[in-house]
Every structure is written in C-alpha cells, then in structure tokens.
Structure 1
Amino acid sequence: MRTVWKNPVTLHAIGEEGEDVVVDTTLGASWALIEDWPLEEGPVLDKALAVCAAVSNGKAKDEDARKALIEAAIEAGVRYTA
C-alpha cells in the first residue's frame, strides 16, 4: 500500500480547494477515492476501492490499483495525467 508507484497519477482540480492531487501509492489512491472523489457511488469506484483493499491483502498488485484509479477517474469525469 505504501510502495511508491513508478508512474504517479495527477488528479486535476479534485483537492479540497480545487487543487491537483498527485497519487503515487495505493494508500494515496484509497484516500483520494474516499475523501476527494466527486461521486458518492459508482460501479467503477466500487471496483477501484475493492482493488485497493486487495492490494493491502496481498491479492493484487500496486499497478492494478493505479489502473483502477484511472478507470474510476474516467467514470467520474475527473481530468487526470498518468
């Protein structure tokens, strides 16, 4: 969960005051999805949270969480740079 990703994801204008959020760990992805996300629910959001949990349980890889975060951003209409 705390392993730094080789390729961080920048989520644009999603922070508390509209700032960009740089996500470079699965833990960071979890926090962004829980705290900063513009949607309260959605199937891809749910999947991304499940993938982050699977990483913490050793059942998925950090890259899986990164990809799931990007997919959730697409679902939510969040601009990102990856």
Structure 2
Amino acid sequence: MKWDTSASFDPVILVFKDSDKRMIVRTAGDAANALMKDWPSDDGEEFLVAVKACLDVMTGNIEADQLREAIIRAAMEAGVKAISVLH
C-alpha cells in the first residue's frame, strides 16, 4: 500500500500550553507526527477521529481539508490553541 503523507491543506498553527511549543501542521504527515508525538492526551474522542482522518487521507479515502477540520476539533478538545491560516 502506498501512503500519501504529503497531502496538504491550509496551515494550522498549534500552540501547546504546557511547553509553549508551537508547530505548523500543513500535511497529513505533519498531522500524524503532532498527534502521535506531541499531543497532550491520547484518549479523547476527537483525538481518535483525527488519527483516523490521518489514515484516511494517507490512503486516499477523504480529502485533506477534512483532516484539517479534525485536527482543529481535536486541538479544542485537548486545550491546544489552533490558529487557522487560510490562503
């Protein structure tokens, strides 16, 4: 199976409150890294939806913009600030 980690969307800047860390997410690969390595909690419903959306984008089952929306919802759930940048 070929994974498309480069599927891109308008950037979302994530600001993590505990470490003042900032991250720009603009591809499915970026989103997967953020969710698996940097996310403050891995048990929220929106977190799980975002993880599934990553897989769905990488396999071509949904559009990248749907993943972007899932990341924003997961950030709200986890208390991560999500700054939405639209081009």
The structure that is strand-richer by fraction is 2
Quick check: TM above 0.5? yes
Matches within 5 A, 1:2-81: 2-5=6-9, 7-13=10-16, 18-81=20-83
Q: In 2, are the aligned partners of 1:54 and 1:60 still within 8 Å (CA)?
A: yes
TM-score w.r.t. length of structure 1: 0.88
Q: Partner letter of residue 63 of structure 1?
A: D
TM-score w.r.t. length of structure 2: 0.83
Q: 1:14, 1:67 → 2: CA distance?
A: 20
Asked which structure has the greater CA Rg, the reply is 2
Q: 1:30, 1:67 → 2: CA distance?
A: 14
Structure 1 runs of 4+ with >6 Å offset: none
- Structure 2 runs not aligned, ≥5 long: none
Q: Partner letter of residue 9 of structure 1?
A: V
Q: In 1, are the aligned partners of 2:11 and 2:24 still within 8 Å (CA)?
A: yes
Q: In 1, are the aligned partners of 2:41 and 2:78 still within 8 Å (CA)?
A: yes
Q: Partner letter of residue 25 of structure 2?
A: V
Q: 1:13, 1:78 → 2: CA distance?
A: 5
Q: In 1, are the aligned partners of 2:12 and 2:83 still within 8 Å (CA)?
A: yes
Identity percentage over the alignment?
Answer: 31
